[in-house]
Amino acid sequence: MKFLNWGLRLAKLLLGGAVLAGSADRGACADYFTDNGFGNPLSTIHHPSGEHYKGSTYIAYQGPHEDAYVCAYNHATKKWTGPLLAGINPMGKTPDPVDNSELDNHGKPAMMVDRNGFIHLAFGAHGGNPMLGRNAFGTSAGFGHGGKLTHIVSSHPEDISSWRILENISPFGTYPQFVQMDDGDIYLFYRHGTHQSDWVYQKSSDDGLTFSRPVSVLKHKLQAKGTLHDAWYAWFAKGLGDTITTSYIYHPCSYPGHTKDRLNVYYMKMNGADDSWENAAGEKLTIPVTREYADRKSLIFDSGKDRCNHGTCHVDQEGNPHVMFRHGAGQVRYTRWTGSSWTQPIAVIPGEGAGQDGDMIVESTADVRMLLLNSGNNRNEVAWWRTSDGGRTWGKEKSIFSKPGGGCEMGALIENFTTDAMVVFSEGRVPGHLYRKMVLLGKEGPVQRPDAEVSHVQKQLDVLKESGAKPAPKEDRAAKKARKKADDE
C-alpha cells in the first residue's frame, strides 16, 4: 500500500483550499453543495455515488480534470466538509477542456463505506490502458480507451481528508459497482475492459484490503459469422438477505462500424453463501452467461429492434425483483416478477418519451415509489412517482426540483440513505465551460449549504480564460464525434 502521489496535478489544483465545516456564516443558503462537478459527474451505472454512515452522508463525483472528488454532510450539525480531491484520474486533462467531446467521462467514482468506517472509491478507467498488460477477459478491439481502474481508501475512518492507493484490483475496468453484504463481504463488479469484454466481480472478505481474482459473470463473445460481438451493460445491487441482484441489457457490438444499439432486458441473482447464480424462477444458472443462454434462461423483455438501456433493480419483502429500464429515447418502464412470470412493462411517466432516469424504492409487492429525473420539453424536473397496484398504473406525487433547461444527470439512490439525503443530482452545464452545480436531494427537496461555501471553480475559470480555451470548431467537433461513435453512453 502507498499514499496517493499527487504529483503535478496537486500543484495545479485550483480550488484555493478546501472549505471545511463551520467555516462560513450560515446566512443565505444555496440549493447546491458545490459548483465543481465536471463534464458528466455521475450516473446510475457508477454506483453507489454516496453512502450514509453513522450520521453523515459521504458523496463521490467527477470534478475538475475528471478526478474523483468527495464531500461529507453531517446530519446533526447540518454542516458540510469539502469538496476535497480524493484521487487522480489518469484520463484527465489540464487545463480542463470546454468541449465535452474532449472528455472520456467514464472514469467517475463509485463509493462505499466498509463496516469499520473506512471509505472506498473505485474510479479512473474506461477499459484500462493496453500498456498495463494483457486483458484476460476482453479485447480493446481498436476502441482506444484507457486509464487505470484504481481503488483508494481513506487513511482514517469517517475522514475524507487523506487517501491511500490499494493495488488489489484489475486495472482493466469500466463502470465500477460496489455491493457490501451483511457479513461485511465486499463485491466489486465492473466490465473488465472496453465494450468487447466480460462483466466480472472481485470479492473481498477483509474489508477491501485484498480481493480475489476476477470471476466472469457475463461473457463477451464473437458471433459465428461476421464481426458482431456479444456485449453487455449491467447493474448490480444487494438483494434480500445474502443475495445480489442484477438486471442487464444486450449490446450487439461491432468494430469497425460500431453502433450504440442496446436491446432486451434480463435478470438473475447471486447467492452469497456459495456464489451460485439463478434466474427469477429459481433455476440454477451456469456462468459466465452467454447471449444464447441468457435468451433462454434470464430474459425479461424482448425489445425486438427497439433500444433498451439499463435501469435499476430492487426486491420486495419476498425477494421478488422489480426492474426499471429505459426504452426508446429514454422512457422509464417498470416490470416485476409475480412469482411465476414478468408483468408487461409499463411506462411510468405517460406521454413522455425521452430524458428520464432515476431509481426506485420497493415498499411492498404492490407499493413502489420512483424518484425520477425528467429532462424532456426543455425542463429538468425531479419528482416522485408511485404505484399502489403492482405497477399497472402510476401517479405523480410531488415535484422536488424543477428548473428550465436540459442536460441534468442523476445518480442511483445513496446507500443506506436517510429521507433528508437520498440521491445526488447535477444541474445542466453553464455555456462556456463544463462545470456543474451538484445537488443533494432529500425526500422534500435539496439539502442547502451557505452561499459562502458553495463556489469552488472561479480559479479554474480564470485559468481557462487566460489559456484562451475555446470549443472546437464545428467541423473539428463533428469529426471528433464521428471518431467517438465507439464510445459508450
In a domain, 481, yes or no: no
Range of the domain at 223: 2-470
In a domain, 174, yes or no: yes
In a domain, 274, yes or no: yes
In a domain, 485, yes or no: no
Catalytic residue among 106, 151, 220, 310: 106
Whose CA is closest to 403, among 423, 373, 432?
Answer: 373
Question: In sequence order, what are the beta bridge partners of 117?
Answer: none
pLDDT, residue 407, reads 85
- Indicate the number of domains in the chain: 1
Whose CA is closest to 108, among 369, 362, 424, 370?
Answer: 424
pLDDT, residue 342, reads 98
Catalytic residue among 58, 175, 250, 267: 175
pLDDT, residue 346, reads 96
CATH number of the domain enclosing 33: 2.120.10.10
In a domain, 217, yes or no: yes
pLDDT, residue 474, reads 57
pLDDT, residue 8, reads 35
In a domain, 277, yes or no: yes
Q: Is 126 a catalytic residue?
A: no
In angstroms, the CA 175 to CA 236 distance is 11
**Beta carbons within 8 Å of 181's beta carbon, 6+ residues apart:** 187, 238, 242, 244, 272
In a domain, 59, yes or no: yes
pLDDT, residue 452, reads 94
In a domain, 484, yes or no: no
Q: Is 175 a catalytic residue?
A: yes
Q: Residue-wise pLDDT tens for the chain (489 aa)?
A: 443 433 434 333 333 333 333 344 457 999 999 999 999 999 999 999 999 999 999 999 999 999 999 999 999 999 999 999 999 999 999 889 999 999 999 999 999 999 999 999 999 999 999 889 899 999 877 676 899 999 999 999 999 999 999 999 999 999 999 999 999 999 999 999 999 999 999 999 999 999 999 999 999 999 887 788 999 999 999 999 999 999 999 999 988 878 889 999 999 999 999 999 999 999 999 999 999 999 999 999 999 999 999 999 999 999 999 999 999 989 999 999 999 999 999 999 988 777 899 999 999 999 999 999 998 778 899 999 999 999 999 999 999 999 988 889 999 999 999 999 999 999 998 888 999 999 999 999 999 999 999 999 988 888 788 877 777 665 455 545 544 544 555
pLDDT, residue 148, reads 97
